[in-house]
Chains A and B, each alone.
Chain A
């Protein structure tokens, strides 16, 4: 199981729990965004954006509806929620957590290429 994000070790979040996290982000003045991907490689930074970050939307229920639309459209993808902080000196995501997973999660494979000495070049394949 992929354990990226803030809450992967907890039971799947309910809509109510997701809404509470959105409220926390909005309270901080952060913009919430939804992204999805079928490739959970640890270096896959750019998941597909489900629309732009919701800079104007300040209503947790409205944002939750967007999240749920993404989950419905891509039930077999990973879906994550991010919160972007535009404050000077941060200007980076401040939250990221997974809210949807494929029923069967893909396994990442570790490939080893033996190199000079006893060094090994590692590649994680998704």
Chain B
């Protein structure tokens, strides 16, 4: 019984490397990008990650033998070198390691528990230089233990009575410093001009210049007045992010009392708080908007941290209705293929494996509601055809500067965006090629819509063409047969 002699043996020899293992339908599978330390071979590194994210410690323990330890050990079963890394390239050799975990390793319905294993200790492990969680396959059996989005795209649209076009939003600017009365002015103007939603920014909570109750009161005056003026359901994402759950519940209850259709939270409140708010939102018939504040601290760099697609998966399970997921054309990070992978993950019932889009596994979403992606950050009316081409119609397009910075005022800014949106959707449905004809379609609408004319003139040269840092690493033919 060498395996259980006291002492230190390689993880590979402890049962965490099983190249013949065939994952069960009920296994959770994680795909890690591993950069091993010099002299650590890929399989040992993968086995170490499997071990440290499941049952192992650094040395042999006899108490394993009191358990069904072979079941509980995670199994690294496949290691592929990452294309374009290693000798002759600018980065150290990296590997994609596939690791399977038995379902019984995880508490039902708990993102906190899932993440405590998968991204718990293992990221600080000395035998690896860097580690990134690229993707996960969540079994249907596990997904069925999660509530999923409190409202979902279908019911959100039915409640708002808005179909067949992207929703339009804007974030109030300046994001800090406005008094509640002045803040509500921005909300009213933007909603009356044609937006569906206005939004608090991630760091608007309850500061000396504007306490939360004042903001909620003035925003709801603006929302209701705009709703009466237009006959449309309107909303403002009231950010209820706060220091404690008690504070957040208090703010959310006040938003509900005032008749808001939606509340908002930030990713930085943590997974458990997000799940709590999702349950609260389902119970109280409010839509739950999540701002991904903080994600780029760990999601942007390719060699270490975790991919945003994993956050998308966890947030769909945790139960948010809206999630910021990139614009492709705006000011924030976003390769078109990566963003398609995020959007599909949020919106589809089933996402097939697509290495091009960064999706390593087939994923059945087990009828969890669809999450509405939000595109925000440096976008304007002149890009409307590109936005709809890349993002489709089930998305909230948020033009903050592109509404509030309009030379003719906020209402005009909102109207320009709404006219551009409706003109492009009409043309798309008529079968026109919006990718190529988009600029002409917008020009034609600008002939009778002065606000759109001004928007196109003001922002015509604004583009953000930078190299993406997070892109897919795959060789189409080699990986297909692996």
CB atoms of A122 and B163 under 8 A apart = no
| The 3 residue pairs across chains A and B that have the minimum distance between CB atoms | A2-B231, A110-B228, A95-B164
A43 proximity list for chain B (CB < 8 A): 233
- Is A51 an interface residue when CB atoms closer than 8 A count as contact? no
- Is A73 an interface residue when CB atoms closer than 8 A count as contact? no
Contact sample, A vs B, 18 pairs, CB 8 Å cutoff: A3-B231, A3-B418, A4-B230, A6-B425, A6-B426, A10-B419, A10-B426, A20-B429, A42-B232, A43-B233, A89-B349, A89-B370, A92-B163, A93-B163, A119-B258, A120-B220, A120-B221, A121-B259
A97-B164, A122-B259 as given contacts; A7 in contact with B228, CB under 8 Å: no
CB atoms of B227 and A45 under 8 A apart = no
Task: Tell me the A1-17 residues at the B interface (CB within 8 Å).
Answer: 1-4, 6-11, 17
CB atoms of B217 and A119 under 8 A apart = yes
A110-B224, A122-B224 as given contacts; A24 in contact with B231, CB under 8 Å: no
A92-B157, A118-B217 as given contacts; A108 in contact with B229, CB under 8 Å: yes
Q: From A120, which residue of chain B is reached at the shortest CB distance? A: B221
Task: Tell me the A71-120 residues at the B interface (CB within 8 Å).
Answer: 82-83, 88-97, 108-110, 118-120
- Is B154 an interface residue when CB atoms closer than 8 A count as contact? yes
Residues of B within 8 A of A (CB): 154, 157-158, 161, 163-165, 194, 217, 220-221, 224-225, 227-233, 257-259, 349, 367, 370, 415, 418-419, 422-423, 425-426, 429-431, 445, 448
B229 proximity list for chain A (CB < 8 A): 108
Choose among A4, A9, A24, A88 the residue that contacts B430 (Cβ–Cβ < 8 A).
A24
A11 proximity list for chain B (CB < 8 A): 448
Bound CA–CA A6/B164 (angstroms): 6
- Is A49 an interface residue when CB atoms closer than 8 A count as contact? no
Choose among B230, B422, B425, B431 the residue that contacts A2 (Cβ–Cβ < 8 A).
B230
A122 proximity list for chain B (CB < 8 A): 220-221, 224, 259
A88 proximity list for chain B (CB < 8 A): 349
- Secondary structure of the B contact surface, majority rule: helix
A94-B163, A95-B163 as given contacts; A124 in contact with B227, CB under 8 Å: yes
CB atoms of B422 and A9 under 8 A apart = yes
A17-B430, A119-B257 as given contacts; A3 in contact with B232, CB under 8 Å: yes
- Per-position 1/0 for A6-46, Cβ under 8 A of B: 11111100000100110010000000000000001111010
Among the interface residues A7, A89, A95, A110, which one has the most CB atoms of the partner chain B within 10 A? Answer: A89
A102 to chain B, nearest CB (A): 12
A88 to chain B, nearest CB (A): 8
Bound CA–CA A118/B388 (angstroms): 42
B258 proximity list for chain A (CB < 8 A): 119-120
Bound CA–CA A45/B161 (angstroms): 8
B157 proximity list for chain A (CB < 8 A): 92-93
A21 proximity list for chain B (CB < 8 A): 426, 429-430
A94 to chain B, nearest CB (A): 6
B426 proximity list for chain A (CB < 8 A): 6-7, 10, 17, 21
A116 to chain B, nearest CB (A): 10
CB atoms of B194 and A9 under 8 A apart = yes
A7-B422, A110-B224, A110-B225 as given contacts; A24 in contact with B429, CB under 8 Å: yes
Bound CA–CA A95/B415 (angstroms): 21
Choose among B163, B220, B419 the residue that contacts A9 (Cβ–Cβ < 8 A).
B419
A80 to chain B, nearest CB (A): 10
Bound CA–CA A82/B165 (angstroms): 13
Q: From A121, which residue of chain B is reached at the shortest CB distance? A: B259
Choose among A1, A9, A42, A94 the residue that contacts B418 (Cβ–Cβ < 8 A).
A9
